[in-house]
Structure 1
């Protein structure tokens, strides 16, 4: 595993995690899924960490799953995405995200598990699951509508349209839009303001905030995994992937 796919830095009581595949727009491959899982599990267990900040290197937050990592692979083993997504969803301390540039698919839905999301002015988000013949993941089928309402969430999922930073702010997906060059510093400052308080209190507050959602998040994970099992490898999904690699528009029946 390439240890450099996820950079980690301890800044006082804040742990900064940086997706570090900038040449691939931080698309998430197997080593990065594993690194995310291990980093969030370690941060949850380390009482010197009061808050985590998640960001991306380069000009994008994350282009989501690295589709190239699936090409020509067949395995019955569980994909590391599942355990990585659960590690983020189950993280019991405050999580702050700083996202600029593209946030696509899993690179967008991971943001729904952050307690505070700050976006750069270049932030652009897309939920492309319908266009790929797939279903949402990261329990986003629940998390997004819980955050912004059922109709607005349905519109984003069904249309697979791009959402820019002002629209994301209007919808309540992000808390604030910051100039790109100031984004990370602002997120770290807000994280430091959180991290000054006792870890035990922060854990209890997050537990209280999430208790109303836990069962629905668990149900969404189960439903999405079942839907993904039905759709992955289906004719529509294969056509979408073929069109992606051939750089053409898909032709659905």
Structure 2
């Protein structure tokens, strides 16, 4: 079991905690795969009725660890896609508790939550255009489905920061709490659900999800195509190097592609 994802089980509720707080819980390969494995195990374990997902320390997750990415992309399938499949297949209630930074994959993973609670310190961002990239985790569908096309376009095409109040106003989050009480509130709601039969919870979630499955599949196909096209592109390289060198990226003189 990887220590990048902590697991705590209590009376039907499994709490999964992203555990790289010194890196703002940025996803490296180990953590992508560890979280995917945790969801797969929770899906198969009939003692688990509900999962709560959160982050250690002051943040949920700052997304992909760009330092690892700059050192070289892994051979074969991108590890984030393994987590995509696991979260799509997860057929039990998922409640997330996010505070502090929630950026990139640290935001899009949250869109798979059946209920999202946020702390008052939340700072969420969908930075894909600023990185010369495209969305992931079917977020370009899931966000629209939750908040509407215009609001989703505004957030994705500007890469603006989203605080807790805006997340609540737009319908990204169900409720806002103080950072100190956030996880407790999420676990209390999970316990309300976990008192019921696991199969009832599972079948009800399947009913809630069935109409979205075809849309998610189509969106993922488009996102994967776009991600493959953009990963390692001149603008993507410039964005990553600017981040590492702590400077503002310069996209003006890069070759335009169609």
Same fold? TM cut 0.5:
yes
Residue 62 (structure 1) aligns with: 61
1:250 Cα deviation after fit: 0.7
Partner of 2:130: 131
Q: How does 1:144-155 map to 2 (within 5 A)?
A: 144-155=143-154
Q: Equivalent residues in 2 for 1:31-70 (5 A)?
A: 31-70=30-69
Structure 1: any 5+ residue segments left out of the alignment?
none
Cα deviation for residue 76 of structure 1 reads 3.6
Q: CA deviation at 1:72?
A: 2.9
* TM-score scaled by length of structure 2: 0.96
Structure 1 pair 74–130 and aligned structure 2 pair: CA distance change class (3 A):
closer
Deviations 1:34-82 (A, max 9, x none): 1011100000000000000000000000000111111232444112211
Say whether 1:121 aligns with 2:117: no
- Whether the 8 Å contact between 2:70 and 2:240 is mirrored in structure 1 is no
Moved over 3 A (4+): none
CA RMSD of aligned residues (A): 0.9
CA distance in 1, matches of 2:143, 2:66: 23
The unaligned stretches of length 5 or more in structure 2 are 253-258
**1:99-178 pair list within 5 angstroms:** 99-178=98-177
Change (3 A) 1:164 1:201: same
Question: 1: distance between equivalents of 2:75 and 2:154?
Answer: 34
Give 1:89 deviation, angstroms.
Answer: 2.0
Number of equivalenced pairs: 252
Partner of 1:211: helix, strand, or coil? helix
Q: How far apart in 1 are the matches of 2:72 and 2:165? A: 39
- The farther-off stretch of 219-228 and 69-78 is 69-78
3-state SS in 1 of match to 2:8? strand
Deviation at 1:14, TM superposition (A): 0.3
SS of the equivalent of 1:88 reads helix
Give the match for residue 23 of structure 2.
24
Deviations 1:166-196 (A, max 9, x none): 0000000000000111011110000000111
Secondary structure at 2:184's aligned position in 1? helix
Alpha-carbon separation, structure 2, partners of 1:211 and 1:37: 21
Indicate the SS of the match to 2:211: coil
- Whole-Å Cα distance in 1 between the matches of residues 222 and 66 of structure 2? 22
Aligned to 1:193: 192
Shift of 1:236: 0.8
The separation in 1 between residues aligned to 2:71 and 2:117, in whole angstroms, is 37
Query: 1:95–1:74: structure 2 CA closer, same or farther, 3 Å change rule?
Result: closer
CA distance in 2 between partners of 1:20 and 1:111 (Å): 16
Separation (CA, whole Å) in 1 of partners of 2:210 and 2:151: 24
